[in-house]
Amino acid sequence: MASPPTAQRESTTTTPQEAVMNRTQLLAHCSAAAAAATIIAGLAATPATARPDPGEPIADRFSSYNTCPLNRVGTQLVRCDYLTGGGVLAPIWIPEL
């Protein structure tokens, strides 16, 4: 025997309080899902690392210190015709040019 129509109607109707509760639960579930997705995406991202591009070696455009010995002219240090002492007095043990 079928149940009376009023019994079906009562089981499907919701009160305004239940509707608000359902919306609140839906909002809570969506917020939890969004937070979980954000955390997973944040953990999956790796930090960037910077390192210099090795490129090609730079050719030595200046004369090597091996080919030009350190000398002094008066009180100044000289190497390959360049003053290298920055105005500091040259020690006496360096040969004079």
Q: In this predicted model, what pLDDT tens digit does every residue of 32-80 receive, in sequence order?
A: 999 999 988 888 777 777 788 787 877 666 555 567 788 888 888 888 7
Number of other residues whose CB lies within 10 A of the CB of residue 84:
16
Number of other residues whose CB lies within 10 A of the CB of residue 90:
18
| Confidence at 81, pLDDT banded by 50, 70, 90 | confident
Compute the distance between CA of residue 43 and CA of residue 38 in angstroms, rounded to an integer: 9
* Full-model pTM: 0.32
Unique residue bearing structure tokens 């009376």: 4
Compute the distance between CA of residue 97 and CA of residue 92 in angstroms, rounded to an integer: 12
Q: Average pLDDT of 10-27?
A: 72
